[in-house]
Amino acid sequence: MLLAAYAALALLLVVALGLELAARRSHSPTAAAPPGANPAFARFQRGFLRGYLPALAADWLQGPYLYKLYQHYGFVETQIAVLYVCGFASSVLFGPVAASLVDALGRRASCVLFSLTYSACCLTKLSHDYLVLAAGRVLGGLSTALLFCAFEAWYVHEHVEHHDFPAEWVPATFSQAAFWNHVLAVGAGVVANAAAEWLGLGPVAPFMASIPLLVLAGAVALKDWDENYGKKRALAKSCTDGLRRLLADRRVLLLGTVQALFESVIYIFVFLWTPVLDPHGPPLGIVFSSFMAASMVGTSLYRLAVSPRYRLQPVHVLSLSVLVGFFSPFMLAFSTTPSQESPAESFVAFLLLELSCGLYFPAMGFLRRKAIPEKDRPGVPNWCRVPLNLLACLGLLLLHGADHGPGTRSIFSACCGLMLLVLLAVGGLFPVVGLFPVVGLFPVVGLFPVGGLFPVGGLFPVVPHDAELWLPPPQGQPDAPEL
């Protein structure tokens, strides 16, 4: 698999570059000057990215060799599964309280705290002690919660409240951050591979390489950023309001179901890709970079699909992402058959899942912003993350709870079932007649005939067409057609 990994990475990078250029050409230029033309804004933006990007790079460096490190220390798959579960459980514990903690402690202080806790997490990887490694996973869960809460909260407050830049410019910064995040993810795999394999420093090397980047991120925040605080918010009220919104709005409930099921499959795959591919001798860092390049391809495809040239709706792209994601565990259930393993097919299946992730996350982000009121956005995702992490934990513990357990193939079969439920949930977001014309491939109202074996309005009721979930039409064109 050595040559296949390098060839896949090169091919995917070329495709991603071509799609990104096509996506940029497809978006109509605006008459207004871009935000980057404002020197003060450009300077502020660079100051934020100087602290944020090293933090992201440090996070990505730890991805390729985590499972390999535990295996290198002599732990069996069941023990490694429990360590991963510690990380997932930590996310359940710290996720809901992270926003309140950041607001109370201070956003800049929380960014510095992130650099300290994540550095400590990396240092625990030097230990062979199982309990120390488990504590490191708990620290990793706290650090991840801070990473995806503190930095963004600090930036938005400074952008709007301190510098008084237009709120419409905020997406420009996070769009840049998202682009560089993909680049850093691909580069992190190559750097991790170089440290662990080319230099022969072993699987702990990428974790040690993360520490200087974390120190840099914390130092930039401490030296160059001003402190700001958020409004005190009652955690119980935020969670209660989020649950009320989740149960009252069918659109939000369907989106939450999609998030919990789809992302739990992703979490399980994060655990499984190394034990599936590693016995066949691939360079794990390059394989990881290939995964990230496939995700880049998916994101660029999304931008191209929703551009004014093609005008696909995000809900349709979400459907496509789930359909692609369904075939990944389906392929893996066959390619991991004992004594008949097909590593090349497994590698392609993992790439398909990453491609579907690149399509899924921007589409889901758009739909959540449209469907969930701003005041409920902190609470609703917290409720979705609980079943998400519980499903991932149960999948790993139940199917790897004993040496004679059903094993990896059973996990992939279960993931197929979860993805099928996701397909049904996505189908409930819109009448499928809008996706397939009545005179087209499915001349029935819906993917399944009404009153048939699987009516669309059964398990996941169809949501009537809601223009809020659609992209606005270009100027001079009629609104999106009713579904």
Q: b/e per residue, 260-297, with b = 16+ CB within 10 A? A: bbbbbbbbbbbbbbbbbbbeeebbbbbbbbbbbbbbbb
Which residues are CB-neighbours of 374 under 8 A, at least 6 positions away? none
120 or 230, which is more confident? 120
What pLDDT sits at residue 197? 94
Instruction: Provide the pLDDT for residue 449.
Output: 38
197 close to 183: Cβ distance less than 8 angstroms: no
Question: CB neighbours of 146 closer than 8 A, spacing ≥ 6?
Answer: 98, 101, 102, 110, 111, 113, 114, 117
In this structure, of 185-199, 273-287, 326-340, the range with the lowest mean pLDDT score is 326-340
Banded pLDDT at 424 (limits 50, 70, 90)? confident
Q: How far is CA 235 from CA 152, 242, 362, in A?
A: 19, 11, 27
pLDDT score for 89:
86
Cα(283)–Cα(287) distance, rounded to whole angstroms? 6
Which range among 407-416, 448-457, 469-478 shows the weakest confidence by mean pLDDT?
Answer: 448-457
Q: What is residue 251's predicted lDDT score, i.e. its pLDDT?
A: 83
pLDDT at 454 over 50: no
Q: Are 411 and 330 in contact (CB under 8 A)?
A: no
> What is the Cα–Cα distance from 128 to 466, expressed in whole angstroms?
55
**Token representation of residue 211:** 């520490």
pLDDT at position 75, please?
94
Instruction: Provide DSSP, 349-414.
Output: HHHHHHHHHHHHHHHHHHHHHHHS-GGGTTHHHHHHHHHHHHHHHHHHHHHTSSTTS--HHHHHHH
The stretch 42-47 carries a mean pLDDT of 93
Residue 398, both tokens:
């139940």
For residues 310 and 17, which has the higher predicted lDDT (pLDDT)? 17
Residues 203 and 74: their CA atoms lie apart, in Å, by 13
Cα 448–Cα 362–Cα 433 angle in degrees, nearest 5: 20
pLDDT band (50, 70, 90) for residue 231: confident
Stretch 118-127: mean pLDDT = 97
Q: Which of 72-76, 90-94, 445-449 has the highest mean pLDDT?
A: 72-76
**Chain position carrying tokens 């399944």:** 448
* 239 Cα distance to chain centroid: 22
Confidence band of 224 (pLDDT split at 50, 70, 90): very high
Give the CA diameter of the chain: 66
Dihedrals phi, psi of 458, to nearest 5 degrees: -85, -95
Q: Which of 412, 435, 414 is nearest to 318 (CA)?
A: 435
pLDDT at 467 (0 to 100): 54
- Overall average pLDDT of the 329-338 stretch: 90
Report residue 131 as tokens: 């309990």
Q: In a 3-state reduction of DSSP, which class is residue 186? A: helix
DSSP string, 281-305: ---HHHHHHHHHHHHHHHHHHHHHH
Residue 49's contacts (CB-CB under 8 Å, 6 or more residues apart) are 173, 176, 177, 180
Quick: pLDDT tens for 3-13. Answer: 889 999 999 99
| Per-residue pLDDT tens over the stretch 259-287 | 889 999 999 999 999 999 999 989 999 99
Amino acid symbol at 174? F
pLDDT surpasses 80 at 193: yes
pLDDT at residue 403 greater than cutoff 60: no
Task: Supply the Cα-derived Rg of the chain in whole angstroms.
Answer: 22
The string of pLDDT tens digits covering residues 138-148 is 999 999 989 98
Average the pLDDT over each of 84-88, 225-229, 339-343, 426-430 and give the range with the smallest value: 426-430
The residue ranking higher by pLDDT, 26 or 290, is 290
Q: What is the mean pLDDT of the chain?
A: 83
Give the tokens for residue 273: 């890709």
- Residue 32 is predicted with a pLDDT of 52
State pLDDT tens for residues 154-182. 999 999 988 889 988 988 899 899 999 99
Please state which CATH number belongs to domain 2-22+50-437+450-469.
1.20.1250.20
Which pLDDT value is given to residue 446? 40
Confidence of residue 34 (pLDDT cuts 50, 70, 90): low
Range scoring the smallest mean pLDDT among 255-264, 425-434, 436-445, 452-461? 436-445
